Amino acid sequence: MSTTLKSEAQIAKFRKLIIGVSIVIPIAVAALFGIRIDGVDFSFLPPFYAGINGLTAILLISALLAIKSKNMVLHQRLIQVCLMLSLLFLLCYVAYHMTSDSTVYGGNMKGVYYFILISHILLSVAVIPVVLFTYLFAWEGKFDKHKKWTRFAFPIWLYVAVTGVIVYWMISPFYK
């Protein structure tokens, strides 16, 4: 088997994996909201995962600056860290919501809060395949396609990271 065919087979597997992960993660997160684990206190997690979102936003901007400075190695490493932070966020978010009651927003900016929250949730689902395919295109060396997809991936990912911090900031006074 030639290395080209092997690479094409690997790429096909990664494409299927991205599609699978993009479907399974939102369904699993929604399903896990129905599971309640009592006796575990993860109430410390919301400021932690809000911090992860903030750090992700900073590193995404740093990755943009790195690639604009033609520092591909730094750009690649920063994006890899952002991917790992996003995974860590997801794990912390699920752990918190499986062990804690939902908090109701009680402020006088409900319309603003729920607009930000709903757009954050919807785009956090959409960002999964967009970011992973964008990363795959770079891994394949298809930098023109990578750059084209980045025009959508970057602002969506940055929006999700920043609004994650804003949602936490707005809801945090109402935690029990």
- Print pLDDT tens along the chain (176 aa): 334 445 788 889 999 999 999 999 999 998 888 888 989 999 999 999 999 999 999 999 999 999 999 999 999 999 999 999 999 999 999 999 899 888 999 999 999 999 999 999 999 999 999 999 999 999 999 999 999 999 999 999 999 999 999 999 999 999 87
Nearest CA-CA partner of 175 in 97, 107, 103: 103
Q: How far apart are CA 82 and CA 90, in angstroms?
A: 12
* DSSP SS3 for 43: coil
User: Which domain covers residue 134, as residue numbers?
Assistant: 3-174
How many CB atoms are closer than 10 A to CB 35? 10
Closest CA to 93 of 134, 140, 47: 47
- Please tell me what DSSP assigns to residue 100: S
Q: What pTM does this model have? A: 0.91
The C-alpha atoms of residue 56 and residue 39 are separated, in whole angstroms, by: 31
Neighbours of 124 (CB within 10 A): 23
Name the domain count of the chain. 1
Give Cα 45 distance to the centre of its chain. 16
Angle at 20 between CA 57 and CA 131, to 5 degrees: 25
The predicted structure's pLDDT at residue 13: 92
Q: Distance between CA 176 and CA 154 in Å, rounded?
A: 35
User: Cα 62 to the chain's mean position, in Å?
Assistant: 17
Residue 57 has φ and ψ, to the nearest 5°, of -60, -45
CB 136 within 8 Å of CB 14:
yes
Domain CATH code at residue 165: 1.20.120
